[in-house]
Amino acid sequence: MKRDYRLILGIAAGLTAAAFVAHWNDVHRRDLPAEFAEEQLSLNGPAMKRITLAFNAIAADWYWMSSLQYVGRKMINYEDTHAGKLRLSDLSSLDLHLLPALLQTATTLDPKFLDPYYYGALILPDVDANEAIGLLNQGIAANPEQWKLYQHLGYIYWQRHEYQKASEVYETGGKLPGAPLWMLAMSARMKAEGGAGQAAREMYAHLYEASDDLNVKGMVEKQLMRLDSLDERGKIRQVLSDYAKSTGHCAASWKEVAVTLRAARVRLDASGAPTDPANTPYRLITSDCNVDLDDNSPVPH
Most confidently modeled of 34-38, 177-181, 261-265? 261-265
Q: Rounded distance, CA 157 to CA 133, Å?
A: 8
* pLDDT greater than 50 at residue 151: yes
- Look at residues 253, 240, 247 and name the one whose alpha carbon lies nearest to residue 288: 240
pLDDT band, residue 211 (cuts 50/70/90): confident
| Cβ(65)–Cβ(115) below 8 Å | no
Tell me which amino acid residue 195 is. Answer: G
Q: What is the mean pLDDT of residues 65-91?
A: 83
Give the pLDDT of residue 196: 67
Of 40-54, 64-78, 255-269, the least confident? 40-54
Given a contact cutoff of 8 angstroms between Cβ atoms, the answer to whether 277 and 297 are in contact is: no
22 or 115: whose pLDDT is higher? Answer: 115
Backbone angles phi, psi at 251, to 5 degrees: -65, 135
Average pLDDT over every residue of 81-94: 76
DSSP-derived secondary structure for 93-113:
GG--TTHHHHHHHHHHH-TT-
* Size (the chain), residues: 301
Mean pLDDT to the nearest integer, 194-219: 80
Q: What band does 53 get if pLDDT is binned at 50, 70 and 90?
A: low
pLDDT of residue 200: 78
CB of 122 closer than 8 Å to CB of 216: yes
Q: Once rounded to an integer, what is the mean pLDDT over residues 105-129? A: 93
Between 139 and 53, the higher pLDDT residue? 139
**Cβ atoms of 78 and 93 closer than 8 Å:** yes
Residues 239/266, Cβ–Cβ less than 8 Å: yes
Higher pLDDT, 214 or 250: 250
Q: Does 207 or 283 have the greater pLDDT score?
A: 283
Q: Assess whether pLDDT exceeds 50 at residue 8.
A: no
Angle at 143 between CA 139 and CA 146, to 5 degrees: 100
Cβ–Cβ under 8 Å, residues 206 and 220: no
The structural architecture, per CATH, of the domain 8-219 is Alpha Horseshoe (1.25)
Given a cut of 50, is residue 21 above it in pLDDT? no
* pLDDT at residue 278 greater than cutoff 70: yes
